[in-house]
Structure 1
């Protein structure tokens, strides 16, 4: 099947060749995010931020007080990578860890003022790359697309149980 053709029917036994890469959503999502991350990394190279650090700053700017496990999920990063990233960020004064009030064994992670300033410095670049993703896409299409992604995320989470 040609790249620009869509499958004529949705059968459970379709092959990837029949679907085609240009109609296989996981391929498209990975390809888009791979390019987005590469473009973003190139744009923030001067700030010496890795993708993991950038994601950590962004997530903690919106959802403070996460555990390392929660942060790994939100930042889409392996826990071992997140652990190393947090150690480096803590040494740099970008984050702090605090014992959870209800359970002192659990450590919650927060941005420091320096971490917030670092996020505030990188956000304009992150937002500009985000806006580029939606060039030529109107508000209604964007809202429908984001709604579909949210449904897909819920579907994926169902399999995590």
Structure 2
């Protein structure tokens, strides 16, 4: 059986995983002082940016599996950072919003996250960062547009 040519260092998704893993390790350390973990931060920041999102929207935006996300939001609600409210037009749908305490927590944590984000792109020009954001957005669109069956066949 012939060997398959594969260089890990040439695999784009290897590098994406490495970047996210390194950032999450640093972020976890930084968040400890605020009593947060990375999944809680992702949820907090997403609810801040997308006020009144549903659990499904939050799961899609944070890429946190639904079981973990439910436990995460439960902890956040218990801590007084998040409120769950039924949607006015469909009582089966639950909307999430930050409480005043959650908004204050976001405001305290955000400068730390910004510092880590700046460190991650240190040495890159603003144009390079904008191009990277555009490229990643395009890749996400490509993956969203591709049916799951054809992705499995590839």
Give the alignment's TM-score, normalised by structure 2.
0.90
1:58 aligned onto 2:45: yes
Tell me by how many angstroms 1:159 deviates: 3.2
Q: Report runs of 4+ in structure 1 exceeding 6 Å deviation.
A: none
> Higher helix fraction: Structure 1 or Structure 2?
2
Structure 2, unmatched stretches of 5+, are 149-154
Cα deviation, residue 16, structure 1: 5.5
What is aligned with 2:141? 154
Return the alpha-carbon distance in structure 2 between the equivalents of residues 39 and 45 of structure 1: 10
Indicate how the Cα distance of structure 1 residues 15 and 128 shifts in structure 2: closer, same or farther if over 3 A, else same.
Answer: farther
Aligned alpha-carbon RMSD (Å): 1.5
Aligned to 1:25: 12
Q: Is the 8 A contact 2:31 2:38 kept in 1?
A: no
Match for residue 151 of structure 2? Answer: none
Which residues of structure 1 form unaligned runs of 5+? 1-13
Give 1:1-161 correspondences, 5 Å limit.
15=4, 17=6, 20-159=7-146
Distance 1:151 1:81 in 2: 28
